[in-house]
A and B are shown apart, each in its own frame.
Chain A
Amino acid sequence: MQNSRTTEDVAHGIRCRVFEHSMRNNGGYLSQACSAAEQLAFLYNEALNLGPSTMPLVPPPFGGVPSAANHDYRTGAGYNGPFDAVHDRLFIAPAHYALVAYACLIEVGRMAPEGLEMFNQDGSSVEMIGAEHSPGMEVHNGTLGIGLSTGAGLAWGRKRRGETGEVCVYMSDGEVQEGQTWEAVQAAAHHGIDNLWALMDVNRQQCDGAMDSVMTVGDIATKFRNFGAVVAEVDAHDLTALREARATPHEGQPLIILAHSSPTKGMEFLMKRFPRLHYVRFKSDEERREMNIAIAAELGIAPVDLGGH
């Protein structure tokens, strides 16, 4: 299902929506919107072959966890379209990007804007850390490093079944600190799982700050190649480059696109906080007002009305 809007437009919409939400709610994952807006817009608006959403525009409330007694349990994957042989599947491995992913679902018409109002509200399925039952999610990935392995298993199974739909895992670069990521790549290469591809947001940031200050990971492109993946490296904000990277041949191997991003792209004002960007909280009302005006100007929109908050 292709959206009628341009991917650039969707990316801009994601930034605006996350910005507005963070302003109103006194903080949020702003930096992830900066780095990931083009990537998620690219995935949903053009790169993935997704069918129409099978879920209501307004997300249903939390319907319980999976159990033998919970017969009505559903994951949030229906927002990405139906499970069938021809359509792609998407895992969003860094589940803390959920706010950005939800904003993307709204921008591409798969979720109503009201969905974002349910974000992090008790009893809602629109959880802060994307859960299986959250819109657009199919598996739990909040424990970082497990997404690519799960994607590899699903991709192997789909290939065995002769399905043409592929499996895409959206990843974050912090995950390369987890050993499981490397186990997953070596297994995908060993078994020739080439209906699997990953788009990794390389923003060089993690919870404690800049990755180089937390745990140096070296040249991850070379490391991935040595573990058996085909690697393409691009500017994460250059959609033409993303398109070319996606077309990289990778027969018999998984493809990993390293999308080098800026954690402040489109909201350069955030550099004032660097390197504390993982979750932006306002230290004072003054900072909030200042940020509201400055970032709104960068985005080309009016400042958010903070009147009642």
Chain B
Amino acid sequence: MEMVNRPYAKAFEDYAVQHPEVLCLSADLTSSCEIDGFRDRHPDQFLSLGMAEQNMLSFAGGLGLAGFRPFLHSFGVFLYRRPYDQLMASIAYPRRQVRLMGFLPGITTPGGMTHQAIEDISVMRTIPNMTVLEAGDATEVESIVAAADSVDGPVYCRILRGAVPRLFDTPLEIGKIRVLAEGTDVLVITAGITTEEAIRARAALDRAGVSVRHLHLNTLKPFDAATILGHAEAVKHGVITLENHLVTGGIGSMVAEALAEAGLSRRLIRLGLQDTYAHGGSRPYLMRYYGMDALSLVRAVERLTGQQTGIDEDALGAVRVEAVHSVVKAEAL
């Protein structure tokens, strides 16, 4: 699998230099959000707002009022927890074209509770006028910049940084669900980093004779319930959602709502953080510890189908290994 170093850095710079009304805002996490090179090369298009997110969000609302399209860079968690009031009043309500680029979604940071955006999808999707996107690979990180900037209103994006695998060869299109497998036993729905886990699990499940239908979401709001329902109808045993987020309010909840509203009777297993905070640790450790990895998905498939697959950790193959001497540390602060 191809690994791409800092796909956001290049994609943002390539895009922003072509669009002078795009501004690059940072709140003291400039290199952490891969925009240090942009700051150095394009200082006129870069605004340092310091460690003051409440001001940054309202300030961005003012920039929007002046006809600019600011991209706000910070860890996702810092873009909505403290400045939630400002997000509502200065950005979401008036539909400013503000692009909130949330780095380190979910447990992709070892920073623990304060750094882990584990309820961001839940919060963002309930906000009227908001669009919510999530990048699942290097190609989506690259294409999310232009996609987000095409939205007539505010957008929140879950961004992956550092060394990111390339899973897809076509750009992210807002509202377009990626159908990665069209099996008939179980429907697996993933987004962000959980898609790679599901791809690993799928290979083993195929060998064990389980036919998996697999959807990758990059647009969480607007949520394409109709397409999800069509796929849910096409499987025998039920649906599993696997998300880098709390299972309440996120993808699991969205799918549950869709099934219930349509009166479609399918069992649903929601994998992700189960009404718990996470703690600090490496991504593979946290995904295992909180039941968000490929093996957890396999066990959920077994519960849903009532059949043991015989798949163990060895069968799932080696966990993706990052280049030890990489210049980027995917999990550093």
Interface residues of A (CB under 8 A from B): 65-68, 75, 132, 138-143, 145-146, 149-158, 160-161, 179-180, 183-184, 186-187, 190-191
Task: Determine which residue in A66, A145, A149 has the highest number of CB atoms from chain B within 10 A of its CB, and name it.
Answer: A149
Docked Cα-Cα span, A66 to B130, in Å, equals: 12
Which residues of the other chain, A, contact B54 by a CB distance below 8 angstroms? 145-146, 149, 179-180, 183
Interfacial chain A residues near B65, Cβ < 8 Å: 138-139, 150, 153-154, 157
A43 to chain B, nearest CB (A): 19
User: 7 tightest A-B contacts by CB?
Assistant: A153-B62, A157-B66, A149-B58, A183-B55, A153-B59, A154-B62, A183-B52
Q: List chain B residues, Cβ under 8 A from A149.
A: 54-55, 57-59, 61-62, 86, 90
Among B50, B58, B68, B85, contact of A150 (Cβ-Cβ < 8 Å): B58
| Total A-B residue contacts, Cβ distance less than 8 Å | 110
Check if B214 is an interface residue, CB within 8 A of chain A: no
Chain B, 272-294, contact with A by CB distance < 8 Å: what is the 0/1 string?
Answer: 00000000000000000000000
Confirm or deny: B95 has a beta carbon within 8 angstroms of a beta carbon on chain A.
Answer: yes
**What residue of chain B has the Cβ atom nearest to residue A185's Cβ?**
B55
Closest to A70 in B: B95
How close is B245's CB to chain A, nearest CB, in angstroms?
Answer: 25
Q: What are 12 of the A-B contact pairs (CB < 8 Å)?
A: A67-B129, A146-B89, A146-B90, A153-B61, A153-B62, A156-B59, A157-B63, A157-B66, A161-B66, A187-B49, A190-B48, A191-B47
**A residues within 8 A CB of B50?**
183, 186-187, 190
A150 to B129, CA, bound (A): 19
A157 contacts which of B55, B57, B68, B153 (Cβ < 8 Å)? Answer: B68
Whether the pair B63, A68 counts as a contact (CB closer than 8 A) is no
Q: Is the CB–CB distance between A132 and B93 below 8 Å?
A: yes
Q: How far is the CA of A75 from the CA of B64 in the complex (A)?
A: 15
Q: Are the CB atoms of A158 and B85 closer together than 8 Å? A: no
**Smallest distance from the beta carbon of B52 to chain A beta carbons, Å?**
4
Binary contact readout B55-89 vs A (1 if CB under 8 angstroms, 0 otherwise) = 11111111111111000000000000000011001
Give chain B residues whose Cβ lies under 8 Å from the Cβ of A154.
Answer: 62-63, 65-66
Partner of A155, one of B52, B62, B129: B62
Q: Is the CB of B129 within 8 A of A180?
A: no
For the A-B complex with A66-B94, A149-B55, A157-B63 known, give 12 more contacts whose Cβ atoms are closer than 8 Å: A66-B93, A140-B89, A146-B58, A146-B86, A146-B89, A150-B65, A153-B60, A156-B47, A156-B63, A157-B66, A158-B66, A180-B55
B152 within 8 A of partner (CB)? yes
B310 to chain A, nearest CB (A): 50
In the complex, chain A residues whose CB is within 8 Å of the CB of B56: 187
Known: A139-B94, A184-B58. A157 touches B89 (CB 8 A): no
Given the complex of chains A and B, what is the CA–CA distance between A68 and B222 in angstroms? 12
Q: Are B62 and A65 within 8 A (Cβ)? A: no
Which residues on the A side are within 8 Å of B89 (C-beta)? 139-143, 146
- Residue of A with least CB distance to B60: A153
- B95 and A66 form a contact (CB under 8 A): yes
B171 at interface by CB-CB < 8 Å? no
Which residues does chain A contribute within 8 Å of B47, judged by CB atoms? 156, 191
Q: Is the CB of A161 within 8 A of B63?
A: no
In the complex, which residue of chain A has the Cβ closest to the Cβ of B59? A153
Tell me the chain B residues, 113-171 only, with Cβ under 8 Å from chain A. Answer: 128-129, 152-153
Q: From known contacts A180-B55, A183-B54, A187-B49, infer whether A157 and B62 are also in contact, taking CB-CB under 8 Å.
A: yes
Query: Which of B59, B65, B67 has the most C-beta atoms of chain A within 10 angstroms of its own C-beta?
Result: B59
Residue of B nearest to A180 (CB): B54
Chain A residues whose C-beta falls within 8 Å of the C-beta of B152 in the assembled complex: 68
In the complex, which residue of chain A has the Cβ closest to the Cβ of B88?
A143
* A187 touches which of B55, B85, B93, B128 (Cβ 8 Å): B55
Q: Which residues of A contact B95 (CB under 8 A)?
A: 66-68
- Given contacts A154-B63, A157-B66, A186-B52, A67 and B58 within 8 Å (CB-CB): no
- Which residues does chain B contribute within 8 Å of A153, judged by CB atoms? 58-66
Task: Give the nearest-CB partner of B86 in chain A.
Answer: A146
- Across the interface, which residues of A come within 8 angstroms of B153, CB to CB? 68
Q: What is the distance, in angstroms, from B25's C-beta to the closest C-beta of chain A?
A: 10
